[in-house]
Chain A
Amino acid sequence: MLTLQCPYCGVNAEETELTAGGEAHLKRETVGSSDDDFEGYLFMRENPKGVHFERWRHSYGCGKWFLAARDTNTLEVFGTYSAQSKEPPKELRDKISAKRPGWSWREFK
């Protein structure tokens, strides 16, 4: 069973306490965006077999949203971090690089 540590309350929450919120670090398109950008924002999602970044909510706990780095192929959890991050923290990316050399996800490497 998937277990994620909530970066806010520190609880090791298992899957039934959590709600998956889909892809992380989405840029919200708005007035003036092109059709292509809107299509990407609304419908296209990263669907990698490997390293993935997602939003999660600690629904049956502190109720806060946070972000997580996982491997969709092995279910290994690399770490969780605050929802206020514009990008995955450096030490988390280094940790992933040590385990999955050459990984990339959108613009992150």
Chain B
Amino acid sequence: MTGGFRPYDALMSLFREFAALPVAFDWAEKDSKTTRGHPRQRRGIRPDMKRYSAFAIAREALRHHTGWERAWRSPEPKKKYDAIIVGAGGHGLATAYYLGKNYGIKNVAILEKGWLGGGNTGRNTTIIRSNYLQDPSAAIYEKARSLYETMSQDLNYNVMFSPRGVMMLAQTQHEIRGYKRTAHANKLQGVATEFISPQRVKELVPIINIDGPRYPVLGALWQPRGGTARHDAVAWGYARACSAMGMDVIQQCEVTGVRTEGGKVIGVDTTKGAIDCDKLGLVVAGHSGVLAEKAGFRLPIESLALQALVSEPIKPCMNVVVMANTVHGYMSQSDKGEMVIGGGTDGFNNYTQRGSFHHIEETVRALNETFPIISRLKMLRQWGGIVDMTGDRSPILSKTPVEGIFVNCGWGTGGFKAIPGSGWAMAELMAKGYSPLTDEFSMWRFREGKFIDESVAAGVAH
């Protein structure tokens, strides 16, 4: 708009009022009694953060999209924070978000050695489900799945949660029995799943070949409210919401040392200088062992490369997520039309973020039988991430031998689906020192023999 008349100005005050309406913003400080100041400031939201809405699009359309601002600030670190979270992936950002939202702890920094969401958050196959066998797992994964349902509204950021349904194929007699058992367990846990027939599988996934010959489809464990979400958007949405609460998301800031005094954490050394803190949350997945060593304790974790690949984009042909654990592959179709395929982990420790080539061959060879139409697809990209594996394939959300240090790691090959629940529980653990959701996931469960064994039980392609 370059002329004298500026409808933008005329409309702006109206939009401002809309933006200030008390809808959907539940990270507000509920105990705030103050009535002065901007209405959004009263609710704990930085008044300079602009809300995304249809009005915002209209507003920006009128001024040639010159008013969009950065979604989060990139501040320099302060001298001291109440809490520091190491790792700005999904789990770290979610932890920080719920520290602020649920417990009012907002003097928080999230340190990231690379770029935001550049680790496993940006490398996974975005599957969300909660059909686990053991009660502690079902509790935290179902909490996460239910938070995904409203995440876009909570964060005012479209994470494209798509509850399109997830099925895990039973291709052996053992899997039928295993999945029926899981379906029963899920009923008791209040997780909606069911065991469905091969005919129902074929109805839901017309491109599937249920006849075998090597691995016929004998049924499937079906979770209709499982699905996918846009993985990057989850990290970006949380980062924006954290930044809006006044937290500092500091990228390219690697933690080089952990300072303790009398068995208690007092701060960290980073590539951007020393930063003090009262509480420290280590949420760094594959590098958990490396950081734990700096803090002076060991974790029962080994780091392996896990890889995934996507095909060229094709027309919509499959609107559910299919996991075939016997043949060790899983597939879904992205909104761009690419077939997203997840493969296996390497058998040996490594930190390379690429993975061994022969795993791709094994995965694709197996999926070719179940999905004959993919045999002529070209594969476009392949990548790897470093997954942190525990002995029982369940995560660790725990206090540590050092007072004030908490760890959230060991999510292994299935962390994305857990992000909001993990952050919710970890924030409670850090703020209150106890969380019912993390109680069973202590790092001492191994020596106590209290495994949460999902490695065989869940039949997951771990």
**Complex formed: what's the CA distance from A100 to B103 in Å?**
46
Q: Is A43 an interface residue (CB 8 A)?
A: yes
Q: Is B447 an interface residue (CB 8 A)?
A: yes
Chain A residues, Cβ within 8 Å of B303: 47, 49, 72
Partner-binding segment picked from B31-39, B49-57, B310-318, B347-355? B347-355
Partner of A44, one of B290, B298, B349, B356: B298
**Complex formed: what's the CA distance from A15 to B446 in Å?**
31
Determine whether the beta carbon of A49 is less than 8 Å from that of B351: yes
Q: A52-B349, A72-B350 are in contact. Are A47 and B301 (CB under 8 A)?
A: yes
Q: Is A54 an interface residue (CB 8 A)?
A: yes
**Complex formed: what's the CA distance from A35 to B290 in Å?**
24
Report B53 CB to chain A, min CB distance, Å: 44
Contact with B along A33-74 (1 / 0, CB 8 A): 001001110111101110010100000000000000010111
9 A–B pairs (Cβ distance < 8 Å), ordered by A = A1-B358, A22-B302, A43-B446, A45-B300, A49-B351, A72-B350, A72-B351, A72-B352, A74-B352
Determine whether the beta carbon of A35 is less than 8 Å from that of B349: no
Partner of A72, one of B300, B349, B358: B349
Question: What 5 pairs across the A-B complex have the smallest Cβ distances?
Answer: A47-B289, A20-B348, A39-B447, A43-B300, A20-B347
Looking at A38, A43, A74, the one whose CB has the most chain B CB atoms below 10 A away is A43
**Complex formed: what's the CA distance from A2 to B358 in Å?**
11
Determine whether the beta carbon of B357 is less than 8 Å from that of A54: no
Determine whether the beta carbon of A49 is less than 8 Å from that of B447: no
Q: Is A16 an interface residue (CB 8 A)?
A: yes
Determine whether the beta carbon of B351 is less than 8 Å from that of A1: no
Report B400 CB to chain A, min CB distance, Å: 14
Chain A residues, Cβ within 8 Å of B349: 47, 52, 54, 72
**Complex formed: what's the CA distance from A52 to B351 in Å?**
12
Determine whether the beta carbon of B358 is less than 8 Å from that of A16: yes
Report B351 CB to chain A, min CB distance, Å: 5
Q: Determine the residue in chain A with the shortest Cβ distance to B301.
A: A47
Please count how many residues in chain B sit with their CB below 8 Å of the partner chain's CB atoms: 21
**Complex formed: what's the CA distance from A40 to B302 in Å?**
14
Q: Determine the residue in chain B with the shortest Cβ distance to A68.
A: B348
Determine whether the beta carbon of B351 is less than 8 Å from that of A73: yes
Partner of A1, one of B287, B356, B447: B356
Q: Determine the residue in chain B with the shortest Cβ distance to A40.
A: B298
Question: In residues 338-388 of chain B, which contact A (Cβ within 8 Å)?
Answer: 347-352, 356-358
Residues of chain B at the chain A interface (Cβ within 8 Å): 287, 289-290, 298-303, 347-352, 356-358, 391, 446-447
Q: Determine the residue in chain A with the shortest Cβ distance to B348.
A: A20
Partner of B350, one of A1, A40, A44, A75: A75
Chain B residues, Cβ within 8 Å of A72: 303, 349-352
Q: Determine the residue in chain A with the shortest Cβ distance to B390.
A: A43
Chain B residues, Cβ within 8 Å of A12: none
**Complex formed: what's the CA distance from A48 to B447 in Å?**
22
Q: Determine the residue in chain B with the shortest Cβ distance to A14.
A: B358
**Complex formed: what's the CA distance from A38 to B352 in Å?**
31
Q: Is A85 an interface residue (CB 8 A)?
A: no
Q: Is A19 an interface residue (CB 8 A)?
A: yes
Partner of A35, one of B298, B350, B356, B447: B447
Report B462 CB to chain A, min CB distance, Å: 15
Report B384 CB to chain A, min CB distance, Å: 12
Report B276 CB to chain A, min CB distance, Å: 26
Determine whether the beta carbon of A43 is less than 8 Å from that of B447: yes
Q: Determine the residue in chain B with the shortest Cβ distance to A50.
A: B351
**Complex formed: what's the CA distance from A74 to B350 in Å?**
8
Partner of A49, one of B287, B300, B348, B356: B287
Q: Determine the residue in chain A with the shortest Cβ distance to B349.
A: A72
Determine whether the beta carbon of B358 is less than 8 Å from that of A19: no
Looking at A2, A20, A47, A72, the one whose CB has the most chain B CB atoms below 10 A away is A47
Chain B residues, Cβ within 8 Å of A44: 298-300
**Complex formed: what's the CA distance from A35 to B391 in Å?**
18
Q: Determine the residue in chain B with the shortest Cβ distance to A44.
A: B298
**Complex formed: what's the CA distance from A5 to B139 in Å?**
47
Partner of A2, one of B356, B391, B446: B356
Report A54 CB to chain B, min CB distance, Å: 7
